[in-house]
Amino acid sequence: MEKDLLLRVENKVGYITFNRPKVLNSFTPDFLATVIEAVQRFDEDPEVRVIVFTGTGDAFSSGGDKEFLNALTKMTPLEIRSTVYSRFGGTANAIRLCSKPTIAAVNGPAVGAGCEMAVACDFRIVAKEAFFCESWIELGIIPPLGGMFLLPRLIGLGRANDMVLRGVRVYGEEAAAIGLANVVVGSAELARTTAEFAEELARKAPLALSVAKEGLRRGLESSMHIESGFNIFAQSVLLHGPDFEEAVQAINEKRKPVF
């Protein structure tokens, strides 16, 4: 039986593929535990510089598995918090706080928790036919995995209201127009475009990427005064590091740096 989660590393890019196409790559707590482990594994692997998430079949992810949703109605709030959201919230946090750049290659619908996982990534490369949908309101609940914090900052409060309060679907080209997608391509071009995008990132200075990602995330929740101190300290460390030395040497030798 083929695994529910497929992992591979190619050209310093780690690919994490949701492989449950018969249920539109829906999530269960046990499945997401394997996703968390995969993110941690790639985050610790020096041969991996960028992490890509995608799905097999027709969907990125349809969100919570139907059988799991039925089971939720019988759980206590404590059970939901301690078992369910340690996996769902844990996955979103693992993606968002990972030290390496993350890319969602959105090949089809990204719904509910699937939408939240895509939004947690640093970049989204989206097929024209794919769409994002925060469908939680249709179930009488809310997006609890970070989307209500990140979406207003990505696309503005008005459009976030449409997605969260009305459950409006946002398709590929509109997603690009409002800042939810970084790149939109045809489905047939998604894998190639994602690989090129990821490999370009993977050629950049890895420590600088990590520090810049942390700085951007910190800035969402902090102030410019506080972050200026962090930035100056981080820059001092980077200027003393081997990547900056290689970059300056490359300038002198009129070539591209190799990090």
- First-residue to last-residue Cα distance in the chain: 39
pLDDT digits (tens, 9 = 90+) for 173-224: 999 999 999 999 999 999 999 999 999 999 999 999 999 999 999 998 888 8
pLDDT digits (tens, 9 = 90+) for 117-166: 999 999 999 999 999 999 999 999 999 999 999 999 999 999 999 999 99
**pLDDT for the residue 1:** 45
- Look at residues 55, 65, 43 and name the one whose alpha carbon lies nearest to residue 118: 55
> Measured between alpha carbons, how far is residue 68 from residues 27, 74, 111 in Å?
8, 10, 15
Q: What angle do CA 133, 125, 22 make, to 5 degrees?
A: 55
Mean pLDDT, rounded, for 227-252: 91
Dist CA 181 CA 127 (whole Å):
10
- Alpha-carbon 257 to chain mean position: 27
Mean pLDDT, rounded, for 73-93: 89
- Min mean pLDDT across 7-16, 114-123, 188-197, 232-241 is at 232-241
- Residue 11 predicted with pLDDT over 90: yes
Rounded to two decimals, the pTM is 0.93
- Min mean pLDDT across 10-19, 126-135, 177-186, 228-237 is at 228-237
- Residue 2 predicted with pLDDT over 70: no
Dist CA 87 CA 82 (whole Å):
9
Confidence of residue 225 (pLDDT cuts 50, 70, 90): confident
- Residue 97 predicted with pLDDT over 80: yes
pLDDT digits (tens, 9 = 90+) for 242-254: 999 999 999 999 9
pLDDT digits (tens, 9 = 90+) for 29-71: 999 999 999 999 999 999 999 999 999 999 999 999 999 889 8
DSSP collapsed to 3 states, the chain: CCCCEEEEEECCEEEEEECCHHHCCCECHHHHHHHHHHHHHHHHCCCCCEEEEEECCCCCECCECHHHHHHHCCCCHHHHHHHHHHHHHHHHHHHHHCCCCEEEEECCCEECHHHHHHHHCCEEEEECCCEEECHHHHHCCCCCCCHHHHHHHHHCHHHHHHHHHCCCCEEHHHHHHHCCCCEEECHHHHHHHHHHHHHHHHCCCHHHHHHHHHHHHHHHHCCHHHHHHHHHHHHHHHHCCHHHHHHHHHHHCCCCCCC
Decide if 166 contacts 101 (C-beta within 8 A).
no
- Neighbour-count burial for 31-57, b at 16+ CB within 10 Å, e otherwise: bbebbbebbeebbeeeebbbbbbbbbe
